[in-house]
Amino acid sequence: MTETATQGARIADVCLIGGGLVGMAIALGLQRNGLHVAVLDEGDVALRASRGNFGLVWVQGKGDTLPEYADITRLSARLWPTFAASLQDSTGVDVQLQQRGGLYLCLTEQELDARARMLGKMHEAAGGDYPYETLDLKQVREKIPEIGDTVAGATWCPEDGHVNPLLLLRAMTERFKAQGGIIDNTGRVETIEPHPEGFRIHAGGDWDCARVVLCAGLGNRELAPQVGLSAPLSPNRGQVLVGERVRPFLDYPTGHVRQTGEGTVQIGDSKEDVGFDSGTTTEVMAKIAHRAIRLFPLLRDVKLVRAWGALRVMTPDGYPIYQASTSCPGAYLVTCHSGVTLAAFHEGPLADWIASDRYDPSLEVFHAERFTL
Amino acid sequence: MPNVSHFERLPMRAGEQVTVFVEGQALKVDSYDTAAAAVLIAGLVPSRTTPTSGSPRAPYCLMGVCFECLLDIDGVANQQGCMVKVRDGMQIRRQAGARDIHEPRQETAT
Ligand SMILES: Cc1cc2nc3c(=O)[nH]c(=O)nc-3n(C[C@H](O)[C@H](O)[C@H](O)COP(=O)(O)OP(=O)(O)OC[C@H]3O[C@@H](n4cnc5c(N)ncnc54)[C@H](O)[C@@H]3O)c2cc1C
Ligand code: FES
């Protein structure tokens, strides 16, 4: 994605800062609403969760302490099939969406009990409308014959799935450009200057726009205060291992191991508080591999071909921030962990909200004020 | 498109001869050779098909970079033939598609 804006006027209805999974999904939704959108993205030096994630479209357990988050997660999962189909129609890219359910495998009874209790509470909070099952080893084996003998069991949710996140980003970007969208990565956005008619944005070149949407991942920390918003985000590192391609052995994604459409084995992922360091460490990779082999002994001599670290974009409570600025009308902040899962929601209802420019009380729980109250 | 292997042995250091089996056919090769070289000498081209599209492939870079030389060596698939030195009695087979990890195959001793 290296592009330069055409010479001359750099003007758009909306400037959207950040061309990751969150930004591109919102950008497509704004285009669908008839807006002329320019995406300003920093380029290859940036920290980009969208290129290093695990690819789960994951429902179970999301929002255990915030029902509204569980709701938008499930809504997104429901919107995903149509979203994926429309991406394929317009770009020819099959993002390999599969939503046949997923398992969270547990190695100990305690772990399994804790998860079952958490999902039980969510089931109750949703008035019984929250599908999940707790499976013992025998029941897990019915779904995954290759499961290891030392697995205690799993929680199963029929709404879970996975997708190829790199193909997703490519498909969204291609569609955006084909629909006349501009991606400018001539430089990092340094300042956003609000003025009565809108915003002037200083990046490699300057842009003028009526509205600005911040989707810059960890970069939102510096940008949000310039338009009267706050983004108290911190990085959380995940290391991911990728094994050689093998014949299909796993029909469902699990919380730690999944097999892609091409047969690649993807193994994740750590949760590390190490600041802005997206590297890998032998110790953590060994732990991740060890767990995977306990879950799936047949992976024992599968060769690893790649490993990487990537930084999650985390708010203090792990839930998104969706907020319109009151002091600088026309400025929005959209940031979250689980940007893969939420992509269909972002392209749909959330982009419609931004396009309509109207106050939406249902989004109030996602305001950043919750961290200061 | 000509698909005859241009692999030609140039005189270099003389090693011992060993016998390997390429798709079951006995083949005498130099002990310094790699499994990929044995496949090229045997003219076993294509030596694999790719996991997704099934397109035909053969050893290419011969230095461990391109992964085109994946072979089934002594019952273990996905081995980079150019990185594996021959051994007397080695069984080398074509690899069709992705490696199957379900059941470890028995070594076929001869
Ligand atoms: C290891 C790992 C595993 C994950 N697994 C999953 C999963 O299984 N399922 C799931 O749903 N989610 C998962 N996630 C989370 C998901 O990847 C993120 O939520 C999502 O990628 C965030 O997208 P984003 O666009 O906000 O951020 P990013 O991808 O970080 O993109 C931000 C963009 O903003 C740009 N930018 C930043 N600052 C500036 C600036 N000043 N000027 C211009 N541009 C700027 C950057 O160039 C970058 O392209 C995972 C994340 C990690 C790290
Ligand atoms: S021929 Fe390229 S890796 Fe072996």
Residue-wise pLDDT for A270-310, tens only, equals 999 999 999 999 999 999 999 999 999 999 989 999 999 99
In this structure, is residue A272 part of a structural domain? yes
Q: What's the length of chain A?
A: 373
CB pairs under 8 A between A and B: 32
pLDDT band at B9 (very low <50, low <70, confident <90, very high): confident
Q: Do B98 and A247 touch (CB under 8 A)?
A: yes
Label residue A87 exposed, middle or buried (CB < 10 Å: 0-12, 13-18, 19+): buried
In this structure, is residue A127 part of a structural domain? yes
Mapped onto helix, strand or coil, the DSSP state of residue A314 is strand
Q: Please, are residues A257 and A295 in contact by the beta-carbon 8 Å criterion? A: yes
Does one domain contain both A107 and A245?
A: yes
For position A279, which CATH number holds?
3.30.9.10
The residue extents of the domains of chain B are 17-96
Model confidence, pTM: 0.91
What is the DSSP-derived secondary structure letter of residue B100?
P
In this structure, is residue A78 part of a structural domain? no
Q: What's the length of chain B?
A: 110
Label residue A218 exposed, middle or buried (CB < 10 Å: 0-12, 13-18, 19+): buried
Does one domain contain both A141 and A249?
A: yes
Kindly state whether A245 is in contact with chain B, defined as any CB-CB distance less than 8 angstroms: yes
Does one domain contain both A334 and A201?
A: yes
Q: Measured in angstroms, how far is the CA atom of residue A305 from the centroid of ligand 2? A: 14
Provide the β-strand partners of residue A104.
A155
- The answer to ipTM > 0.90 is no
Q: Please, are residues A298 and A257 in contact by the beta-carbon 8 Å criterion? A: no
Which of A314, A333, A362 is the last residue in one of the domains? A314
Does one domain contain both A288 and A343?
A: no
Tell me which of B47, B63, B70, B95 to substitute to probe ligand 2's pocket, judged by most ligand atoms within 8 Å of the beta carbon.
B63
For the range A370-373, what are the long-range contacts, defined as Cβ-Cβ under 8 Å and sequence gap of 24 or more? A370/A317, A371/A230, A371/A232, A371/A315, A371/A316, A371/A317, A372/A230
Does one domain contain both A29 and A135?
A: no
Q: Measured in angstroms, how far is the CA atom of residue A50 from the centroid of ligand 1? A: 4
In this structure, is residue A225 part of a structural domain? yes
> What pLDDT does A44 receive?
77
Residue-wise pLDDT for B30-74, tens only, equals 999 999 999 999 999 999 999 989 999 999 999 999 999 999 999
Count of domains in chain A? 2
Task: Tell the residue number behind the tokens 């897990």, with chain if given.
Answer: A140
Does one domain contain both A263 and A291?
A: yes
Does one domain contain both A334 and A227?
A: yes
Provide the β-strand partners of residue A136.
A153
Does one domain contain both A228 and A110?
A: no
Q: Measured in angstroms, how far is the CA atom of residue B75 from the centroid of ligand 2? A: 19
List Cβ neighbours of A213 (8 Å cut-off, separation of 6 or more): A14, A15, A16, A17, A23, A26, A30, A331, A332, A333, A334, A354
Does one domain contain both A240 and A117?
A: yes
Contacts of residue B51 in chain A, CB cutoff 8 Å? 245, 262-263
Q: Do B78 and A249 touch (CB under 8 A)?
A: no
Residue-range definition of the domain harbouring residue A200:
5-52+166-232+317-371
In angstroms, what is the C-alpha Rg of chain B?
Answer: 14
What is the DSSP-derived secondary structure letter of residue B102?
S
Q: Mean pLDDT in chain A? A: 95
Residue-wise pLDDT for A27-49, tens only, equals 999 999 999 999 999 977 778 89
**What H or E segment, with its residue span, contains residue B9?**
none
For position A172, which CATH number holds?
3.50.50.60
Provide the CATH topology of domain B17-96.
Answer: Ubiquitin-like (UB roll) (3.10.20)
Residue-wise pLDDT for A121-131, tens only, equals 999 999 999 99
List Cβ neighbours of B11 (8 Å cut-off, separation of 6 or more): none
Contacts of residue A242 in chain B, CB cutoff 8 Å? none
Q: Where are the alpha helices (DSSP H) in A231-363?
A: 282-295, 343-345, 351-356
In this structure, is residue A86 part of a structural domain? no
How close is the nearest chain A Cα to the Cα of B90, in Å? 20
- Given strand B48-49, what is the order of strands in its sheet? B56-57, B48-49, B95-96
Structure-token pair, residue A326: 């009151």
Q: Mean pLDDT in chain B? A: 88
Does one domain contain both A170 and A155?
A: no
